[in-house]
Amino acid sequence: MPQTRSRFFDDLSKLMTDAAGLADGARREVDTALRSQLERLLAGMDVVRREEFEAAREMAALARAENDRLRERVAALEAKLDSMSTQTPREAPQA
């Protein structure tokens, strides 16, 4: 009787191991199918990749900083021009 019980548990163990392997294989197959379907869906939606988005965001930040510098420079030049135009002809620097 003990040998029968041991064989039963051995067979049960083998069955569980096979079932776990089958379940893992099925999970991988489902993952692959879902990933493939998602990639097709995203390709059809014209979605931007993360790297492209980060590069565009960095370019926008640089352009914004340059725009701020140019805005300050234009304001300074306009202030200088305004101060030169309000001077009387006698005060104006000789060229």
Give the residue carrying structure tokens 């309000």. 86
Sequence-distant (6+) residues with CB within 8 A of 92 are 84
What's the pLDDT at 67?
98
**Mean pLDDT, to the nearest integer, of 62-81?**
97
Q: What is the DSSP code (8-state) at residue 87? A: S
Q: Residue 85: is its pLDDT beyond 90?
A: no
CB 84 within 8 A of CB 92: yes
Question: Which two tokens mark 44?
Answer: 């059809």
Binning pLDDT at 50, 70 and 90, where does residue 54 land?
very high
Angstrom distance (rounded) from CA 51 to CA 57? 10
Q: What is the DSSP code (8-state) at residue 92? A: S
Question: Structure pTM?
Answer: 0.46
What's the pLDDT at 91?
56
Question: Which two tokens mark 91?
Answer: 């005060």
Angstrom distance (rounded) from CA 19 to CA 17? 5
